[in-house]
Amino acid sequence: MSSVSPQRVAVLGSSFAGMTAALEVRKHLDERHEVVVLDPRDHFTFIPSLIWMPFGARKADDITFPLAPLYDKKGIEFVNEAAARVDVDGHTVSTSTGRSIDYDKLLVATGPRLAFEKIPGLGPEGGFTQSVCNLEHAERAQEAWDRFLENPGPVVVGTAQGGSCFGASYEFLFNVHHRIRKAGLEKVAPVTFISSEPFLGHFGLGGVGDSAKRVEGFLERLGIEGIPNSSIKEVRDGEIELDGGRVLPFAFSMIVPPFAGVDAIRESEGLANPVGFVPIDDRFRHPDQPDIYAAGVATAIAPPESTEVPAGVPKTGQMSETMAKVAAQNIAADLTGGKHRDLPIAELSAICVLDAGNNGIIFKADNVLSHGIYANGEEPSARVMAGPQAHWAKLAFERYFLSSRKRGMTAF
């Protein structure tokens, strides 16, 4: 290892995948090698808890922490700027202020661009629906929820065509129903769920165990109408029009938007597919750019099956961290001559906790993008559990994750 010349690893993004990758790369390399992280935000946000913010159950300080002190303690340079362009041939990243950063290895973990503009009237900025996909949007959703309580009416929750974060929309659905019931508004605020999934409980994965049965049963018990295989044509003030002509009135609506890759990645020649996501191989390395890796939502992952309405593959925080750890190990192996690790996308596992306010559902699945029987004759493993333990599991994990990451720990 001592004969290896100093190298610089640049990580774009500092959410689940980016932070994990940076900490793991730093752990695998000695101090002669540089690790630099770029992110326009100066803080980390525990995104899974954003579903609670609109109801006042969380404040920003509860689920965020500053990035600079953590990275400084770990010997990682933090650049509080967005990447503006990647020159894959020149091995440089241009930042939003015009700074140029050279790299020997690059890991893209920028997350998604929220493509509200793909559907007229969608989103909190110039549109009529709310979002809980980032901190600022969740804070706006709280203001909208307060207005709703003053003048309640129908509620519509869901995931638009091209979206992939189905878990968040289901969790928000269950929590909003819980809050409506606590406020005694069931008779004036019926709840409808719309989704691009071909069936409820599909999750962009073709289903997990008996998830369809569990989710349908959950909605039936709660009196929520679920409309799968739906595509939004237009959102107007107080109503959502679906393809086919059905119009859903609403006094409050939260819709997860279509996802796309961030502009800086999409517009960098030779880096991404037309939508802006980075193609990867089994080492989470770009197939045509051996010095570039990607993890998390920024990766291009094909759906396991074709669906009538576009439904993206979810890349949960746990899945993103798994990708980041594999990518980090392989970057370190590139630089030090160590052992590489292959992990086919089809073999990723997923753990998802859907909180419902005081109840919920826990899904755990191995090989989430594999369907049918494996070559060895075994079936994919999937477990589904419903009950109040799901709510307590999420609360416990939130506390564990935030406390461990503040100290720079990445092991579960």
Catalytic hit among 38, 114, 135, 352 = 352
**Starting from the edge strand earliest in sequence, which strands make up the sheet with 232-236, in order?**
232-236, 239-242, 247-249
The residue among 282, 261, 336 whose CA lies nearest residue 104 is 336
Cα-flanking dihedrals φ and ψ of residue 138, to 5°?
A: -65, -35
Residues 271 and 285: beta-carbon distance below 8 Å: no
Inter-residue contact 159 to 312 (CB < 8 Å): no
- Catalytic (active site) residue 165: yes
Residue 118: exposed, middle, or buried by beta-carbon count in 10 A (0-12, 13-18, 19+)?
middle
Comparing CA positions, the residue from 132, 144, 140 lying closest to residue 170 is: 132
Going along 181-298, which residue ranges are E strands? 191-195, 225-227, 232-236, 239-242, 247-249, 252-256, 259-261, 292-294
Q: Is the dihedral of CA 51, 312, 19, 394 positive or negative?
A: positive
The one-letter amino acid code at 325 reads: K
Is 352 noted as a catalytic residue in this protein? yes
- List 155's β-bridge partners, or say none: 191, 252
Write down the catalytic residue from 53, 107, 165, 219.
Answer: 165
Catalytic residues: 165, 352
